[in-house]
């Protein structure tokens, strides 16, 4: 199954006016979103290590939306259920789950230490360590992911690490 994204009105306006402050790399991804290409097609064209994350950011910011879902043969298929945003966090319970909070914090700290090193991410490591709820950890998610992707070894593992972290954060 493949997901096809299309630009929203806001996305079209961004292409014309460049007022959204998108980085050149993110803007390039937005340009290639056309309502016809699947995410796999975009991945093959753009050779971007963090394409899924970039698409998620564009979707959450309202620049793109899911236009269609296709099956393996490329034919339109009904989505199995309303599709969540690409980088959607799971819904949190009313009370803070201290076990999953500690798992998420440890995962972020350990992956940064392993892929970047304590000197390369000391400020981010300190801020993660001071987080006492899921909301504050989620606020650091994009910076954590970007830091992982910018490391040589982390670039290869970024999508798998992202998926694992989203299970507990």
Residues of the chain with pLDDT under 70: 1, 48-49, 71-88, 93
pLDDT at 8: 94
Q: Which two tokens stand for residue 80?
A: 């199995």
- Report the domain count for the chain: 2
Q: Is residue 87 part of a domain?
A: no
What is residue 143's predicted lDDT score, i.e. its pLDDT? Answer: 87
Q: What is the pTM of this model?
A: 0.53
- What distance in Å separates the CA atoms of residue 34 and residue 15, rounded to the nearest whole number? 12
Q: In this predicted structure, what is the pLDDT of residue 72?
A: 66
Same domain, 42 and 108: no
Q: Does residue 62 fall inside a structural domain? A: yes
129 and 66 fall within a common domain: no
Of 77, 111, 136, the position where a domain reaches its end is: 77
At 78 the pLDDT is 54
Residue in 21, 29, 48, 49 with CA at minimum distance from that of residue 115: 49
pLDDT value for 9: 95
Res 102: pLDDT: 93
Judge whether 44 lies within some domain.
Answer: yes
Shared domain for 62 and 121, answered yes or no, is: no
**102 and 152 part of one domain:** yes
User: Does residue 91 belong to any structural domain of this protein?
Assistant: no
Claim to verify: residue 63 and residue 105 sit in the same structural domain: no
Residues in contact with 166: Cβ distance below 8 Å, sequence separation at least 6, in sequence order: 87, 88, 89, 90
Q: What range defines the domain where residue 33 resides?
A: 2-77
pLDDT of residue 104: 93
Q: Are residues 145 and 104 in the same domain?
A: yes
Instruction: Give the contacts of 104 (CB within 8 A, at least 6 positions apart).
Output: 134, 137, 165, 168, 169
CATH number at residue 16: 1.10.10
């Amino acid at each position: 199954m493949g997901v096809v994204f299309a630009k929203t009105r806001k996305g079209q306006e961004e292409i014309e006016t460049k007022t959204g402050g998108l980085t050149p790399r993110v803007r390039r991804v937005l340009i290639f979103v056309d309502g016809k290409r699947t995410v796999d097609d975009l991945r093959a064209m753009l050779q971007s290590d963090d394409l899924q994350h970039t698409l998620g950011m564009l979707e959450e910011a309202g620049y793109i939306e899911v236009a269609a879902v296709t099956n393996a043969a490329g034919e339109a298929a009904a989505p199995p259920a309303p599709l969540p945003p690409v980088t959607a966090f799971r819904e949190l319970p009313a009370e803070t789950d201290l076990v999953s909070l500690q798992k998420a914090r440890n995962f972020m700290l350990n992956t940064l230490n392993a892929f970047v090193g304590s000197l390369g991410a000391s400020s981010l490591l300190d801020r993660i360590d001071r987080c006492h709820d899921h909301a504050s950890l989620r606020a650091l998610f994009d910076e954590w992911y970007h830091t992982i992707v910018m490391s040589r070894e982390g670039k290869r593992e970024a999508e798998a690490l992202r998926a694992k972290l989203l299970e507990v954060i």
